[in-house]
A and B are shown apart, each in its own frame.
Chain A
Amino acid sequence: MSEICCFKGHDLKFYWTINWVVILLGIFLLALTLLLFIFPKNKENQRCVVKIQVGDLSNKKEKIPTVLVFTEEDKYGLYSNLLFKYFLAEGVVCGHELFVASAKEHPDNILKELPAPLLDDTYRNELGEEATAVKSEDFQDSMKIAWRYQNLPKTEASPTSTKFGHYYDVSKTMPPELFQSRNWHSFYLPEELSLHPLPLHLPCKLTPARRAYTRLLQSIQRIIYQEGFDGSDPQKKQKNILRIGIQSLGSMLWGDDICSSDTPEDIHSLTKFLYVLRALLRKSLSACIITVPAHLIQNKAIMERVTNLSDMVVGLESFIGSERETNPLYKDYHGLVHVHQIPRLNSLICDVSDTKDLAFRLKRKLFTIERLHLPPDLSDTVSRTSKQDLAESAKLLSSGCGAMAIGKKHLDF
């Protein structure tokens, strides 16, 4: 609600001032406010979780929450890949150790393509906040038509003061010296399989997927043990966090047939892997992100089990090639974000935001996740029918995302 109002204010501003400078400033501020309010708010999930871990390091008695973030890939894997790289880049910037596992792209290449951090962002943020403050003051004064919005509390402005993570420029890649200075480990499946042929004593009845997963688990376990992430070695000078990223788990390239057949040879290989991985994470200081081509997995029961086994599940739905691409409701966005599961850390309840409808868009330099809203109604001549169309599709959307569809029939209280 308050969000829409905020936009209204800006739009009115557009009408009144013909001065181009002000318009440009307005556009800049709009972008900035989006960047400040919305982006950190929604990237929060991964970030804040890792932050919590850092905070908990000092308090050793507390149980340290470790998190398994699970991303359902969008159809062509574009945006999930980007999110994956964001996660790793944040690790590089925060000085965490990285572990990158992939069966498709060589981990070296993944690291080379991390987005470049905007390291002077603290300075920029301060500047931005000041400008926002000035701006909001002056549009408060000038609210003559939209006077009913004048006294609304500016609750949206408060989250800017707490900063989550860093900002990245997706148009550039990270300078190599930045990630080369960090300690990182890679796991490239074809390499691993050719370097170390299977020991003979292992039973050969193992499916290829099971073999690959076992190898990966052994590799992660070795690193956790050797580098002291399991906290077993208290003399280790400094505790660090291991960020694990696993790309396209469960796809054909991992030798898994859950994507190609409805009744796979070994239906439990992925869930078993996740369970053991969870155990490893629970024992150590690490966070893990996994991307999975969920739309390819034939047997939906697997996804249900996988959801139960992970702490956080986020689905990305890209509009590329879908009929929603041309829907006017989504014309500003590139896809939808579905949050399926949120972790509860040291509390009974998780932090639930008010809006469940999230959308993402990829700008030239920035990937943002925003609350989905109807675009501000700029023209005077918008016909009533098209407005209703929009409202209809908005309704359709909520039926897709939540259990709102049967709202009319039910009355719970």
Chain B
Amino acid sequence: ILTAAKERGQLIFLEGLKSCLDLLFGEEEQSGQPSPLQFLSEGASDLKALFDFVRTSLTPAGSDSWKGPVLLVDDLSVLLSLGAAPVAVLDFIHYCRVVVCSQLKGNIVVLVHSNEDSEDEENELVVNSLCHHSDLILWVEGLATGFCKDVHGQIKIIRRVSLELTAEKDLVQVYQYKIQDKNVTFFARGLSAAVL
């Protein structure tokens, strides 16, 4: 399905691992266009090239545009490992929000890693400020009591109702899940097949 979508132009996929190879070992100056991962080679910690790539990809070209684009970022934390400053990462996300959410009426989904007793302060800064701006947070974690064969962890779904400036509190739902080979089953707490 995904390759079909790609051919129709519905999906644009930037494969970081591949394009970083092209950048580092590829021929110099193929088309004069800067690589989206320009920041890797120059040591400059700004993600402008990456943002430009996002903007040009998502800007509707002609009549066959798809309504409501979605920007999926798989692992923002990796950008930090690659030398981008946390402020640069947050700037990047902010610019993306302006373009995707406000101008194009689309959505952004971002994956980040986090850990409660993490010592990675830069990463925690990014995670916290992302949580602050998000409308919906899916927080996946292992069970506090340790590993279990039938319940692999729990997912906390936090609906940020408080962002709409009503006096209500955020809605929190917790489900537990079990991962199988090809799919995941979710169930309410304490209702795993092993217990019932």
Give chain B residues whose Cβ lies under 8 Å from the Cβ of A283. Answer: 17-18, 21
Residue of B with least CB distance to A299: B119
Residue of B with least CB distance to A347: B181
A-contacting residues, B149-196, CB 8 Å: 149, 151-152, 154, 176, 179-184, 189-192, 195
**Which of A301, A402, A406 is close to B123, meaning CB atoms less than 8 Å apart?**
A301
* B180 A272 Cβ-Cβ under 8 A: no
A204 at the interface (CB under 8 A from B): no
* B145 A347 Cβ-Cβ under 8 A: no
* B20 A275 Cβ-Cβ under 8 A: yes
Residue of A with least CB distance to B19: A279
B-contacting residues, A262-304, CB 8 Å: 268, 271-272, 274-276, 278-280, 282-283, 299-301, 304
Give chain A residues whose Cβ lies under 8 Å from the Cβ of B149. Answer: 352, 354
* B146 A403 Cβ-Cβ under 8 A: yes
The 8 A CB mask of A322-355 against B (1 = contact, 0 = none) is 0000000000000000000000000111001010
Stretch at the interface among B5-13, B57-65, B76-84, B97-105: B76-84
* A301 B144 Cβ-Cβ under 8 A: no
* A413 B190 Cβ-Cβ under 8 A: yes
Residues of A within 8 A of B (CB): 205, 217-218, 221, 268, 271-272, 274-276, 278-280, 282-283, 299-301, 304-305, 308-309, 347-349, 352, 354, 356, 402-404, 406-407, 410-413
* A272 B189 Cβ-Cβ under 8 A: no
**Which of B146, B176, B184 is close to A348, meaning CB atoms less than 8 Å apart?**
B184
Q: Using A205-B43, A217-B24 as known contacts, list a sample of 9 further A-B pairs with CB atoms less than 8 Å apart, ordered by residue number in A.
A: A283-B18, A348-B180, A348-B181, A349-B180, A402-B147, A407-B145, A407-B146, A412-B176, A413-B190
- Given A412-B143, A413-B195: A304 touches B119 (CB 8 Å cut-off): yes
B122 at the interface (CB under 8 A from A): yes
* A349 B179 Cβ-Cβ under 8 A: yes
Measured in the bound complex, the distance between the Cα atoms of B189 and A309 in whole Å is 32
Nearest Cβ in chain B — how far from A61, in angstroms? 12
* B151 A413 Cβ-Cβ under 8 A: yes
* B119 A301 Cβ-Cβ under 8 A: yes
* A301 B179 Cβ-Cβ under 8 A: no
* A304 B142 Cβ-Cβ under 8 A: no
Tell me the interface secondary structure of chain B in the complex.
loop
Nearest Cβ in chain B — how far from A407, in angstroms? 5
**Which of A268, A282, A356, A403 is close to B145, meaning CB atoms less than 8 Å apart?**
A403
Measured in the bound complex, the distance between the Cα atoms of B20 and A274 in whole Å is 12
- Given A268-B81, A268-B82, A304-B115: A276 touches B142 (CB 8 Å cut-off): no
The 8 A CB mask of B25-62 against A (1 = contact, 0 = none) is 10000000000000010010000000000000000000
Nearest Cβ in chain A — how far from B2, in angstroms? 13
Give chain A residues whose Cβ lies under 8 Å from the Cβ of B147. Answer: 352, 356, 402-403
Measured in the bound complex, the distance between the Cα atoms of B24 and A221 in whole Å is 10
* B182 A305 Cβ-Cβ under 8 A: no
B118 at the interface (CB under 8 A from A): yes
Residue of B with least CB distance to A274: B81
3 closest Cβ contacts across the A-B interface? Answer: A301-B120, A271-B81, A279-B17
* B182 A272 Cβ-Cβ under 8 A: no
* B146 A308 Cβ-Cβ under 8 A: no
Give chain B residues whose Cβ lies under 8 Å from the Cβ of A354. Answer: 149
* B81 A305 Cβ-Cβ under 8 A: yes
Measured in the bound complex, the distance between the Cα atoms of B25 and A141 in whole Å is 67
* A301 B121 Cβ-Cβ under 8 A: yes
* B180 A412 Cβ-Cβ under 8 A: no
**Which of B43, B80, B144 is close to A412, meaning CB atoms less than 8 Å apart?**
B144
* B179 A348 Cβ-Cβ under 8 A: yes
* B123 A280 Cβ-Cβ under 8 A: no
Give chain A residues whose Cβ lies under 8 Å from the Cβ of B192. Answer: 413
* B115 A301 Cβ-Cβ under 8 A: no
The 8 A CB mask of B80-122 against A (1 = contact, 0 = none) is 1111000000000000000000000000000001010011111
